[in-house]
Structure 1
Amino acid sequence: MHIKRKEQETRVKVALWSLSSFPSGGYLHLGEQGRERMGSYPYVALSISVQLLKAQPQFMAWCPDGWVGYRGKCYYFSEAEENWNNSQSNCSTLGASLAVIDSKQDLDFMMRYKGISEHWIGLWREQERQPWKWVNGSDFNSSFPIGGGGNCVYLNDNGVSASRCITKRNWVCSKPDAYTSQKNTTQRIRS
């Protein structure tokens, strides 16, 4: 089976991110001597992360091709640019929404994974001085500062900023991974 280079890079990033989500920090528990040895053999770290992922399937995200799994969600980082409204429409077409940030870990993940491009997320307000809302209808709890001015929010190298919604940027979609969706459906049926 032929795997494209981008898909390989995505799988490596997912494996390393999944490894970093272990409480012990994955292979970092080997101590200084182990880290020194692994530094000269980078494939060993990847091999260990793959083995840990196989042993701990609850840490694996079940996401479509081209999406990245992290902490029970699937993320799609676009390569195209659109305004905020069209970005949300594109996410809806994929059965998702612009990304909703539920935790500092989610924000850190997106900031690291997005690269140098600016990406729209699912936070907006109708007018200046009105409260921020997530696209899922929940209120923004001010868990991180928002720089700039405007009514639509995006990620940049400095953190989180707002600007005019008509500006074209990349975007990040998110949706629950297949395991989380299946688990939530089962819980609703039992209730």
Structure 2
Amino acid sequence: MRAAGSAESFVGMLNTTDSLKRGKLGKRFKRKYLRIISPMCSAKIYCSYAVIIILTVAIIVLSVALSVLGRNQQQASIKKTFAACPKNWIGVQNKCFYFSEDSSTWILSQKFCLEQNAQLARFDNMEELNFLRRYTGIFDYWIGLHRESPEHPWRWMDDTEYNSSVPIRGAEKHAYLKNNKISSARIYAEKRWICSKPNN
């Protein structure tokens, strides 16, 4: 019985000694392993941080560059659409337009425009005509179309012939914008007027 008991205690001691050794070896191994790995992990972590910082800076720089480029393109587009014009004039494409708030005859309206180095309004395409229509609202505005008689063609102030892209209603000699239409009236009728001149 003693032999059996001492054998068991010996096996128990061996197990304890083995587990102690394994525990000590495990701790030693961990320490050595961490000493070898730690500098590499630290370097990798620092490298990862550096890459993240570089990428973040690159993204910010690209974002700023793209926004500046987009803004410049937008400003260039605006400059093409809205010309730089004198105060109280509105620019579109390569022209400036003035919309009066007073009413006058066709002759006095043209005189006012000439004093501004302009003439009664001329539109060269549908985009310009639609632009003028948007600003006229409920009022009638003289424009630069006139003719000698109902048998003669409509002409602009520089004597070029009107292309009749939009028909002009009425049998009179001087044209004006009325809502979305172009109509004609007698020279002494009083209406507001639109002047136009090229953008400088």
Task: Return the TM-score normalized by structure 1.
Answer: 0.64
Give the alignment partner of residue 149 of structure 1, picking from 163, 171, 194.
171
Find the counterpart in structure 2 of residue 76 from structure 1.
98
Q: What are the residue-to-residue correspondences of 1:37-52 with 2, within 5 Å?
A: 52=74
Find the counterpart in structure 2 of residue 140 from structure 1.
162
> Aligned equivalents of 2:71 and 2:127: distance in 1?
19
Q: What are the residue-to-residue correspondences of 1:46-61 with 2, within 5 Å?
A: 52-53=74-75, 57-61=79-83
The answer for unaligned runs of 5 or more in structure 1 is: 1-47, 179-191
> Aligned equivalents of 1:157 and 1:57: distance in 2?
28
Superimposed CA distance per residue, residues 45-97 of structure 1 (whole angstroms, 9 cap, x where no aligned partner) = xxx99993367544441100000000110000000111111110100000100
CA RMSD of aligned residues (A): 2.1
> Aligned equivalents of 2:71 and 2:132: distance in 1?
20
The answer for unaligned runs of 5 or more in structure 2 is: 1-69
CA separation of 1:61 and 1:146: change in aligned 2, threshold 3 A: same
The one-letter amino acid paired with 1:108 is N
Aligned residues: percent identity? 39
Find the counterpart in structure 2 of residue 175 from structure 1.
197
Q: What are the residue-to-residue correspondences of 1:15-164 with 2, within 5 Å?
A: 52-53=74-75, 57-164=79-186
> Aligned equivalents of 1:123 and 1:136: distance in 2?
10
Find the counterpart in structure 2 of residue 43 from structure 1.
none
- Residue 136 of structure 1, CA deviation: 1.2
**How many matched pairs?**
131
- Find the structure with the greater CA-based Rg: 2
The one-letter amino acid paired with 2:169 is G
Q: Decide whether the 8 Å contact of 1:118 with 1:169 is kept in 2.
A: yes
Q: Decide whether the 8 Å contact of 2:142 with 2:192 is kept in 1.
A: yes
Structure 1 stretches of at least 4 aligned residues deviating more than 4 Å after TM superposition: 48-51
- Residue 107 of structure 1, CA deviation: 0.6
Superimposed CA distance per residue, residues 136-177 of structure 1 (whole angstroms, 9 cap, x where no aligned partner) = 110011111111221000000141001111100000000011
Q: Decide whether the 8 Å contact of 1:124 with 1:152 is kept in 2.
A: yes
Task: Return the TM-score normalized by structure 2.
Answer: 0.61
